[in-house]
Amino acid sequence: MLKMTHLSKVYRTEVVETYALRDFNINVNEGEFVAVTGPSGSGKTTFLTIAGLLETFTGGQYHLDGVEVSNLNDNERSKIRNEKIGFIFQAFNLIPDLNVYDNVEVPLRYRGMKSPERKDRIMNALERVGLASRAKHYPAELSGGQQQRVAIARALAGSPRLLLADEPTGNLDTQMARGVMELLEEIHREGATIVMVTHDPELAARAQRNVHIIDGQVVDLAEDPRFHHAVHSARANSPA
């Protein structure tokens, strides 16, 4: 589903070159739930934005659903983002001027979908996250957990093949975070491929596979006993 080979991302200024990713290799299979962990500034979010075609990369190759994306133009990248990828952000990134219904509708509008189909998809997605009754509410009228559920509904409405989540529970309290995580697990069980960036070992433990990034490179978890221990503890403490 997602394959990056020797990928690099360099930010250049007049005096310095900063490698956000270097010789970065990852392969995520269809239907997998992968957690990406690593310290702050390690390149997790850069990886996610490149994976989501929100940013270009400097070198290497990236195949998304079998398509090499480095030569795609803006329209083609936008189309892939719209049709194949769903985004969930730490800060929810809902549009404050639009109500819940209209927020969920945004990606469907860009797909050129007719109104009746849009309505069906929006209401289905909202029912799935338990917010159908809040369709006319504005983001400011919702709790953080509810806002993140709207963001998930927005990501789900387009039936994406790949769901990219950047610290989806980072701004939520424990209870709300658990609810969001259960929702992601449910979505995964239904067949979606999920790549989730997180700092939280407990969340990482609930993914099928963990990928650890340090200094812009994927490292083998077996070589990092501290992290291995943290994941082990989290698994032991998490509810069945």
Partner 1 sequence: MFAYYLQLGLRSLRKNPLLTLLMVLAIGCGVAASMTTYSVFRATSNNPIPQKSSQLYVPQIDNWGPDSSKDNKGEPPNAMTYTDAVNLMRDKRAKRQTALYPTAVSIVPADASMLPFRETSYGWYADAFGMFDIPFQYGQGWTAGEDESHASVAVIGKALNEKLFNGGNSVGKNINLNGRDYRIVGVADKWNPEPVFYDVTNTNGFDDPIQVFIPFTRAVELKTPTSGNNNCNHDPGKGWDEWIRSECVWLGFWAELPTKAEADAYRQYLNGYSAEQQRAGRFRWAPNTRLRNVVEWLDYQKVVPQEAKVSLMVSLGFLLICLVNTVGLLLAKFMRRSSEIGVRRALGATRREIYIQFLIEAAAIGLAGGVVGLLLTGLGVMGVSLVFEPDIAKLATLDVSLVLLTVLVAILATVLAAFYPTWRAAQVQPAWQLKSN
Stretch that binds partner 1, among 22-30, 51-59, 127-135, 219-227 (CB under 8 A): 51-59
Question: For partner 1, which is the closer residue by CB, 169 or 231?
Answer: 169
Q: Identify which of 13, 5, 1, 31 has the alpha carbon closest to the alpha carbon of residue 209.
A: 31
Element (H, E) at 36: strand 33-37
Residues recorded for the chain = 240
Q: Shortest approach of partner 1 to residue 92 CB, angstroms? A: 9
The three-state secondary structure class of 19 is: strand
Question: For partner 1, which is the closer residue by CB, 106 or 230?
Answer: 106
Q: 118-157 mask for partner 1 (x: CB under 8 A)?
A: ------------------------------------x---
Determine which residue in the list 8, 58, 65, 110 makes contact with partner 1, applying CB under 8 A.
110
Stretch that binds partner 1, among 45-53, 132-140, 185-193, 195-203 (CB under 8 A): 45-53
Number of residues that bind partner 1 (CB under 8 A): 28
Q: Shortest approach of partner 1 to residue 240 CB, angstroms? A: 35
Q: Following DSSP, what letter does each residue of 118-174 receive, concatenated? A: HHHHHHHHHHHTT-GGGTT--GGGS-HHHHHHHHHHHHHHT--SEEEEESTTTTS-H
Q: Following DSSP, what letter does each residue of 63-92 receive, concatenated? A: EETTEE-TT--HHHHHHHHHHHEEEE-TT-
Helix, strand, coil: what percent of the chain each, to 5? 40, 25, 35
Determine which residue in the list 83, 185, 215, 224 makes contact with partner 1, applying CB under 8 A.
83
Q: Shortest approach of partner 1 to residue 124 CB, angstroms? A: 18
Sign of the CA dihedral running 196, 200, 228, 208: negative
Determine which residue in the list 24, 33, 62, 87 makes contact with partner 1, applying CB under 8 A.
87
The three-state secondary structure class of 96 is: coil
Cα separation, 220 vs 1, in Å, equals 21
Determine which residue in the list 93, 124, 210, 217 makes contact with partner 1, applying CB under 8 A.
93
User: Using the rule CB under 8 A, is 89 a contact of partner 1?
Assistant: yes
Supply 175's token pair: 């209870």
Stretch that binds partner 1, among 62-70, 104-112, 182-190, 203-211 (CB under 8 A): 104-112
Binding residues for partner 1, rule: CB under 8 A, are: 45, 49, 52, 54-55, 74-75, 78-79, 81-83, 87, 89-91, 93-95, 97, 106-107, 109-112, 154, 166
